[in-house]
Amino acid sequence: MDISSFSNHCNALFDKAIEDYHKLDTIEAPYTNPYPDHSLDNLLFKKNRIDTVQWHLEDKIRDPAIEPAEALRIKRRIDALNQERTNVVEHLDMMFYRKFSGIPRLPEASLNTETPAWAVDRLSVLSLKIYHMQMEAERKDAPQAPSCKKKLEILLSQRKDLSGAIDQLLADLKAGKKTMKLYKQMKMYNDPLLNPVLYEKGS
């Protein structure tokens, strides 16, 4: 893991994964993760693929003419993807934790507001926003094209800032200036033992 250019690596991988998806542009298209099992890039690709599928499901569920049964099916799939996304991010954070856990911490070392993987999660979604905003900005029949071009500039600026922040966080972790803890998301609504709607039905 080359932390000096890690965000550039992520952005390039995410952009390519999104472009590859749109060659067929269908949620049900078969695909193969091109990276070795258990590798960092395998997880990054998987993370972005989940985000990309979820992006298009979120579009579909907003169709005002959608049948209620289909909307419910999509909502359940979005919920499952949310849990899968969380699992992948937590796996990524474990990889970061293992890389930096042996480094001595400086006395003034502090926690960051978010872990490296949750920042990468935002970077993946930002890549999707940039792809689709650029598509709208270039669409000839789009009445909002001028507005979309301005929004695209903002998104690109956000990606530059977030990328720099991620690289700085990793550099600070490597130097012992930052410390890192692992936290589970503790999602309760997916747990039949913690969601009252689910456990009351079983009682």
What does the domain layout of the chain look like in residue ranges? 3-192
Strands (E), 73-177: 110-111
Mean pLDDT of 71-88: 96
Going by pLDDT thresholds of 50, 70 and 90, the confidence category of residue 2 is low
The whole-number average pLDDT for the span 157-175 is 97
For the segment 40-58, the average pLDDT, to the nearest whole number, is: 97
pLDDT digits (tens, 9 = 90+) for 50-78: 999 999 999 999 999 999 999 999 999 99
Measured between its terminal Cα atoms, the distance across the chain in Å is 49
Tell me: pLDDT of 187 over 90. no
What is the DSSP secondary-structure string of 108-126? Answer: T-EE-SS-HHHHHHHHHHH
Is pLDDT of 117 > 80? Answer: yes
pLDDT at 73: 97
Percent of the chain predicted with pLDDT > 70 = 97
- 166: pLDDT strictly greater than 90: yes
pLDDT band, residue 4 (cuts 50/70/90): low
| CA atoms of 140 and 137, how far apart (whole Å) | 8
What are the CA-CA distances from residue 4 to residues 52, 62, 121, 161, 166 (Å)? Answer: 27, 40, 19, 15, 10
User: Is there a contact between 180 and 113 (Cβ–Cβ < 8 Å)?
Assistant: no
Whether 203 shows a pLDDT value over 70: the answer reads no
